[in-house]
Amino acid sequence: MVLHHGYVPGTSWRDGWIRRSGAFWRELLRQRPPGTHIHLENLLEWEPTLLADVIDASETADLDVALDIGHAHCNSRTSAVGWIEALGPRVGYTHLHDNHGETDEHLALGAGTIPLEAVFSALEAHSPRAVWMLEVDSGEDTERSIDWLERHRFI
């Protein structure tokens, strides 16, 4: 299950929010049906340590990060590759699409400015168990993205 966590940078005391959030996810996952796994998606964060700290504070293997590379590219001060390197095995799921670094366009892979070859190489090196999920806006963009992945030998 992929969820947004609700943190908006600059609106809460970060350390307190991390502590409360970790406790919330730990308790929620303790009461979950068997086999339930939660992936927290990055959205507006400027850097990856917030989600890393929440995952660590939850003290459960059933919570990790759904890394949206488009959000990292257009909302963050850290590159998508930097997110992957910082989060490593905490990335369990990915949303893959492209943009030009200003808005969340959900373009086909290769249609924007995300350094995709570096992103996929980093995923293979640092987050090898992460699920890859295309999050583009049309069937045509899905086909273009699959073609890009095949041409660059990532599938």
Which residues make beta-bridge pairs with 91? 65
Q: What is the pLDDT along the chain (155 residues), one digit of tens a residue?
A: 999 988 888 888 889 999 999 999 999 999 989 889 999 999 999 999 999 999 999 999 999 999 999 999 999 999 999 999 999 999 999 999 999 999 999 999 999 999 999 999 999 999 999 999 999 999 999 999 999 999 999 99
Answer yes or no: pTM beyond 0.85.
Answer: yes
Query: From the CA atom positions of the chain, what is the Rg in Å?
Result: 16
3-state secondary structure 6-68: CCCCCCCCHHHHHHHHHHHHHHHHHCCCCCCCEEEECCCCCCCHHHHHHHHHHCCCCEEEEEE
Q: Going from the N-terminus, what domains does the chain have, and what CATH number goes with each?
A: 2-151 (3.20.20.150)
